[in-house]
Amino acid sequence: MFYLIGLGLFDEKDITLRGLETVKKCQRIYLEAYTSILLVQKEKLEELYGKEVILADREMVESSSDEILKDADNCDVAMLVVGDPMGATTHADLVIRARELKIPVRMIHNASIMNAIGACGLQLYKFGQTVSLVFFENNYRPQSFYDHIKENVSLGLHTLVLLDIKVKEQSWENLARGRKVYEPPRYMSASLAAQQMLEVEEDRQENICTPDSLCVAVGRMGSDDQVIFAGTLQELAEHDIGPPLHSVVLVGRDVHDLELEFLRAYAVNLENFDRVAKTYLEK
**Binding-site residues for S-adenosyl-L-methionine:** 9, 84, 87, 112-113, 163, 221, 246
Q: d(Cα 271, Cα 243) in Å, to the nearest integer?
A: 27
Query: Of residues 71-130, which lie at the interface with a copy of itself (CB under 8 A)?
Result: 84, 86-87, 89, 92-93, 95-96, 99, 107-112, 114-116, 118-119, 121, 123-130
* Member of 5, 23, 79, 157 binding a copy of itself (CB under 8 A): 157
Q: d(Cα 204, Cα 224) in Å, to the nearest integer?
A: 39
* Min CB(230)–a copy of itself separation in Å: 14
* Member of 37, 80, 103, 131 binding a copy of itself (CB under 8 A): 131
By beta-carbon proximity to a copy of itself, the closer residue of 14 and 237 is: 14
For residue 181, how many other CB atoms are within 10 A of its CB?
Answer: 10
SS (H, E, C) 232-279: EHHHHHCCCCCCCCEEEEECCCCCCHHHHHHHHCCECCHHHHHHHHHH
Task: Judge contact between 218 and 117, C-beta under 8 A.
Answer: yes
Q: d(Cα 232, Cα 278) in Å, to the nearest integer?
A: 13
Binding residues vs a copy of itself (CB under 8 A): 6, 8-9, 12-18, 20-21, 84, 86-87, 89, 92-93, 95-96, 99, 107-112, 114-116, 118-119, 121, 123-132, 151, 155, 157, 162, 221-222, 258-259, 261-262, 265
